[in-house]
């Protein structure tokens, strides 16, 4: 069959800060200074240089990745990673630098086109190619350092994503292997006897989005009904029945492509594709309502689309963490009926392929989100995903469980409360996995990545159960950004805790994280004492023009092993200040072990509020107070354009536009606590309590 290569889009999401060009960071000089000062420790050889090739800005600070270079050619899988906290402190470093790489000549003797042709021949590629990448590397994974082309290919009739290493000097095929990430290691060749169609897929210009609805399992029919697999709740070759139909949920699809009156399962974050056999089409239709039952192939399509889009929308828009594919213009491609019908699914190269053996994988949100979890790991690390100790398998299991447990369907006493793949697994097809796995690190490792990943997923869910979903999801993602392709579970645990520290989580949260990781067997270094100051504080002088310094200890976060630090401040509480700008120093002290730490922040004392401003402040009412989901702000607000809501640490929690004398603000997603509403124009403020 003639090869057909889909146009591969090189431009990435500029709006998300993803660029194929050189990366820029104001922290680069400090990072290079660190590398230079640790050159002896890292055993950096003469002639080895480092190129800044990825900058990841996130809630926990900024992570810089430096690629090892030989004669301006990148060394495959060799980098130094340096992380800066929001205060521009280096708080984490890791590396896969290879000091044994020889300084070889880096001019290839064969062309990139020849390498691709040789790779395709070695794989016997036929059908449509959905992904192909060919890059020149200095390669040190074999018996000696070589100059190679690394060709990665995904195509219609070959399951997986195949890496072929081609000697760039003589064209010899040095190795070939499937590098896709599968949701399990059970049989990949079970198939069902289902119709196979052929629908061509062509790249189209961007189309506007509409909205729609879809029928899905959320997350699966067994969890909805709280029943075990069997009886009327058995796969039965995709047959539907009244119970399965009743287990469906109708959900909103906030973005679906609308072009010339035709709707397609495509959004800002996800797009349906025919990537691998069987090719069942794209399920486009004239209606925005994608309503199917499980006996119809369209059900798997909309189920996968919803859960992928919903999860990525949650990460990028609710959590505020930029995490999108590194290719395909930042859109995740998915095939709901792929993998050549195998009883497995996989992630690779910004693509998800879902198999159909046993229970169709795209019917189970756990499978969908597990495979997405591999993608999140891949994108947060710029392609440096680690499978050491099954880390990425554990990441996928955690991401699936974090969502399914949040639906509160199973009681904690039920075995299925801890089931991963509750519908696709834990049945006659295969055993599934759990997040109450009894083995500990490192003595309980088996050497099987899918089995060992359960240690990591279990430890993350221990934390989740105490500090909650959003907090744990944030440190999970931000922590991964600090890791490399050789990071083991223990070092991943340390990275996750460091992300929490850099995001200024409370000492109680940090202690919980430490204790739960330690209970899973990870060796967690003792926390050094540190105190995090609040952001700049702005206050008003009294009618006499003075300000008595408040107690800022409650706004300062002292982190120590036992959370027993005593905080003091200079100037002292009650000191009298006149209008101006001041530096406040907060000091933390612990007796056991004996330690001190300090930080500073800026205090701005404004002139006394005038009679008019005082009157305005008194005229503003915020109700209900305390509030659970929504507050109403009412008063003389015609001159106001907006408000800023600050948390107790002085950090911006949210902003809102004021367009009338009575406005409602959704505060349902704010954590419980005391908040200050600051009115930008009049510079007055009010407090409210969020339950």
Residue from 322, 295, 304, 300 nearest 59 by CA: 322
Average pLDDT over residues 596-608: 93
DSSP H or E stretch at residue 379: helix 365-380
Q: Tell me how far CA of residue 514 lies from CA of 125, 344, 507, in angstroms.
A: 49, 35, 10
Collapse the DSSP code of 141 into the 3-class scheme (helix H, G, I; strand E, B; otherwise coil) and give the result: coil
How far apart, in whole angstroms, are the C-alpha atoms of residue 171 and residue 162? 17
Confidence band for 607, pLDDT divided at 50, 70 and 90:
confident
Q: Tell me how far CA of residue 392 lies from CA of 39, 252, 455, 690, in angstroms.
A: 30, 31, 11, 37
pLDDT at 183: 79
Q: What percentage of the chain reaches a pLDDT higher than 70?
A: 92
Q: Is the pLDDT of residue 325 over 80?
A: yes
Handedness of CA 186, 188, 189, 190 (dihedral sign): positive
Write out pLDDT tens, residues 152-171.
999 989 999 999 999 999 99
How far apart, in whole angstroms, are the C-alpha atoms of residue 96 and residue 356? 38
Domains and CATH numbers, the chain: 14-95 (3.10.450), 112-179 (3.10.450.40), 209-519 (3.10.170.10), 530-606 (2.60.40.10), 611-690 (2.60.40.3080)
Q: What percentage of the chain reaches a pLDDT higher than 90?
A: 77
* Contact assessment for residue 589 and residue 568, using Cβ atoms and an 8 Å cutoff: yes
Query: Over 305-320, what HEC string results?
Result: HHHHHHHHHHHHHHHC
Look at 16 and 435; give whichever has higher pLDDT.
Answer: 435
Residue from 10, 14, 23, 93 nearest 382 by CA: 23
- To the nearest whole number, what is the mean pLDDT of the chain? 90
Write out pLDDT tens, residues 332-381.
999 999 988 888 899 999 999 999 989 999 999 999 999 999 999 999 99
How far apart, in whole angstroms, are the C-alpha atoms of residue 323 and residue 334? 17
Write out pLDDT tens, residues 466-505.
999 999 999 999 999 999 999 999 999 999 999 999 999 9
Average pLDDT over residues 248-254: 98
Candidate ranges 212-221, 598-607, 676-685; pick with highest mean pLDDT? 212-221
Write out pLDDT tens, residues 576-592.
999 999 999 999 999 98
Strands 61-70 and 73-84: antiparallel
Write out pLDDT tens, residues 39-67.
999 999 988 999 999 999 999 999 999 99
Average pLDDT over residues 610-637: 76
What is the crossing angle of helices 449-467 and 507-519, to 10°? 150
Angle (CA) 538-539-542 rounded to 5° is 160
pLDDT at 198: 36
How far apart, in whole angstroms, are the C-alpha atoms of residue 480 and residue 376? 9
pLDDT at 658: 87
* Contact assessment for residue 398 and residue 473, using Cβ atoms and an 8 Å cutoff: no
pLDDT at 6: 35
pLDDT at 691: 85
How far apart, in whole angstroms, are the C-alpha atoms of residue 514 and residue 525? 9
Q: Is the pLDDT of residue 187 over 80?
A: no
């Amino acid at each position: 069959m003639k090869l057909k290569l889909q146009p591969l889009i090189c431009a990435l999401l500029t709006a998300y800060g993803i660029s194929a060009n050189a990366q820029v960071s104001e922290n680069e000089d400090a990072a290079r200074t660190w590398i230079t000062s640790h050159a002896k420790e890292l055993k950096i050889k003469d002639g080895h240089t480092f190129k800044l090739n990825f900058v990841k800005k996130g809630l926990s600070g900024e992570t810089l990745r430096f690629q090892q270079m030989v004669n301006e050619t990148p060394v495959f899988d060799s980098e130094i990673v340096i992380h800066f906290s929001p205060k521009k402190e280096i708080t984490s470093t890791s590396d896969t630098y290879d000091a044994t790489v020889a300084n070889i000549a880096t001019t290839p003797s064969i062309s990139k086109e020849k390498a691709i042709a040789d790779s395709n021949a070695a794989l016997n590629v036929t059908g449509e190619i959905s992904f192909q990448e060919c890059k020149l590397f200095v390669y040190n994974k074999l018996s000696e350092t070589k100059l190679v082309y690394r060709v990665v290919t995904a195509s219609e009739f070959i399951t997986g994503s195949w890496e072929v290493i081609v000697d760039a000097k003589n064209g010899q095929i040095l190795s070939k292997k499937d590098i896709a990430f599968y949701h399990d290691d059970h049989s990949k060749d079970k198939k069902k006897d289902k119709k196979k169609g052929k629908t061509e897929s062509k790249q189209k210009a961007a189309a506007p989005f509409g909205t729609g609805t879809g029928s899905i399992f959320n997350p699966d029919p067994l969890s909805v009904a709280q029943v075990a697999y069997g009886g009327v709740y058995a796969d039965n070759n995709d047959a539907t029945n009244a119970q399965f139909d009743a287990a469906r949920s109708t959900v909103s699809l906030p973005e679906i492509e609308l072009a010339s009156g035709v709707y397609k399962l495509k959004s800002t974050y996800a797009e349906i594709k025919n990537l691998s056999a069987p090719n069942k089409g794209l399920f486009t239709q004239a209606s925005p309502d994608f309503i199917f039952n499980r006996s119809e192939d369209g059900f798997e399509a909309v189920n996968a689309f919803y859960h992928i889009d919903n999860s990525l929308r949650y990460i990028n828009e609710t959590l505020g963490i930029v995490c999108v594919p590194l290719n395909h213009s930042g859109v995740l491609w998915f095939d709901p009926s792929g993998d050549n019908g195998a009883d497995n699914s996989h992630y690779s190269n910004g693509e998800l392929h879902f198999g159909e053996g046993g229970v169709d994988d795209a019917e189970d949100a756990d499978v969908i989100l597990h495979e997405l979890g591999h993608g999140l790991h891949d994108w947060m690390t710029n392609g440096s995903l680690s499978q050491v100790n099954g880390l990425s398998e554990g990441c996928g299991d955690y991401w699936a469980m974090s969502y399914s447990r949040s639906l509160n369907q199973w009681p904690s006493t039920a075995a299925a409360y801890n089931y991963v793949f509750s519908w696709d697994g834990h049945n006659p097809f295969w055993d599934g996995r759990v997040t109450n796995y009894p083995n500990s690190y490192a003595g309980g490792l088996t050497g099987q990545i899918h089995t060992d990943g359960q240690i990591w997923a279990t430890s993350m869910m221990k934390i989740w159960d105490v500090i909650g979903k959003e907090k744990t999801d944030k440190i999970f993602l931000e922590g991964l950004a600090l890791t490399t392709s050789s990071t083991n579970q223990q070092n991943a645990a340390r990275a996750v805790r460091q992300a929490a520290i850099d995001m200024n989580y409370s000492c109680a949260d940090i202690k919980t994280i430490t204790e739960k990781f330690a209970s899973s067997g990870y060796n967690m270094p003792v926390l050094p004492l540190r105190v995090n100051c609040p952001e700049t504080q702005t206050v008003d002088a009294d009618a006499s023009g003075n300000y008595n310094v408040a107690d800022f200890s409650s706004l300062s976060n002292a982190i120590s092993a036992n959370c027993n630090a005593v905080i003091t401040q200079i100037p002292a509480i009650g000191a009298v200040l006149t209008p101006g700008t001041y530096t406040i120093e907060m000091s933390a002290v612990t007796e056991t072990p004996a330690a001190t730490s300090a930080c500073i922040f800026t205090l701005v004392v404004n002139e006394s509020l005038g009679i008019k401003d005082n009157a305005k402040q008194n005229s503003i009412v915020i109700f209900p107070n305390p509030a659970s989901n929504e507050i109403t702000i009412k008063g003389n607000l015609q001159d106001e354009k907006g408000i800023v809501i600050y948390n107790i640490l002085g950090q911006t929690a949210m902003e809102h536009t004021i367009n009338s004398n009575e406005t409602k603000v959704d505060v349902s997603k704010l954590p419980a606590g005391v908040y200050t509403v600051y009115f930008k124009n009049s510079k007055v403020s009010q407090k409210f309590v969020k339950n």
